[in-house]
Amino acid sequence: MKAAAKWFGVFLILMTVLGYAWAHFWDGMTKAEAKKVSELQTLLELGNQVVDHPQRVVVKWQGAWEGAGEKDAEAAAKKLTQALELPPMDQLTENGHKTYRVIDQSSAVSVRFHWQEISADQSYIIIQLEAESPDDWNMLSNLQEKYGEKMRDAGIDAEWNASLQGSSNDNMNARSTMIHIEDGLKNKLDAVQKETYADATTVSNAYQVPSLTSRVRSGSTWLNMQVAVHEDETNGKSRVTIGLPVITIEY
């Protein structure tokens, strides 16, 4: 009887420890998702402050999926599209690989779903969300959170990036516009410039921002944000693009 009581006590202790560990893990995952949403909000707020006419925001989730035994890529892709409440997917062959694709433009936030089989048991997924009006940014933020959760539930170790693009009112050249924007970045986010590129009509700078957790490795350093200014020779205005952690659209 004493032995049974002893083992029961050990069992309770073990279950308590496991329960605490699981709760701690889940709390960490929840906070990580919340951080991603808040960082997107940081980008949107920054766009409103430093871009005179925000025109589009593009969010991308991407990551690898690995099958195991009975798992089938086509079935997994179909299940994910259903979880995301997307229309039925199309199947095609792209560069010799089976690809499953959905383009949904039925709402204010357009969605492009792209699942490609790399091998018999491995696929790579990219899902792009795009909103063209600041009126739709709340919806975009909600979908970003939802899509990240659903991809994680599907076993995809996904990372996200986002780019905001718009135009400036001034008639300054790209370098002068970048200096103006950079002053705002340093005041609002303590951004530290780490890389730069420039040509006749374009300036692109990359920064470390300690308050942001999303990052990408570049050589021996890491980056959180990229800003590019391109002079549009047709209208004399500058096109401004801000990316977290880097820009992944044409600027």
Which position has the token pair 């990580």? 32
Task: Kindly report the number of other CB atoms within 10 A of residue 206's CB atom.
Answer: 24
Residue 184 pLDDT > 90? no
Give the pTM: 0.82
Q: Which amino acid is at 39?
A: E
Chain segment 82-108, per-residue pLDDT in tens: 999 999 999 999 999 999 999 999 899
pLDDT, position 178:
93
> Taking residues 172-192, what's their average pLDDT?
88
Distance from the first to the final alpha carbon of the chain: 74
Q: Measuring CA to CA, how many Å separate 99 from each of 74, 77, 204, 239?
A: 9, 10, 34, 34
* Secondary structure (3-state) at 8: helix
168-244 folds as Dihydrodipicolinate Reductase; domain 2 (3.30.360)
Q: Does the fold of domain 168-244 match that of domain 58-160?
A: no
Instruction: Look over the chain and give the mean of its residue pLDDT values, rounded to a whole number.
Output: 85
pLDDT confidence bin for 69, thresholds 50/70/90: low
Instruction: Select from 250, 231, 229 the least CA-distant residue to 240.
Output: 229
Return the domain boundaries, the chain.
58-160, 168-244
Residue 19 pLDDT > 60? no
Report the alpha-carbon distance of residue 179 to residue 199 in Å, rounded: 15
58-160 folds as S-adenosylmethionine decarboxylase (3.60.90)
Torsion of CA 173, 176, 181, 182, to 10 degrees: 140
pLDDT, position 18:
41
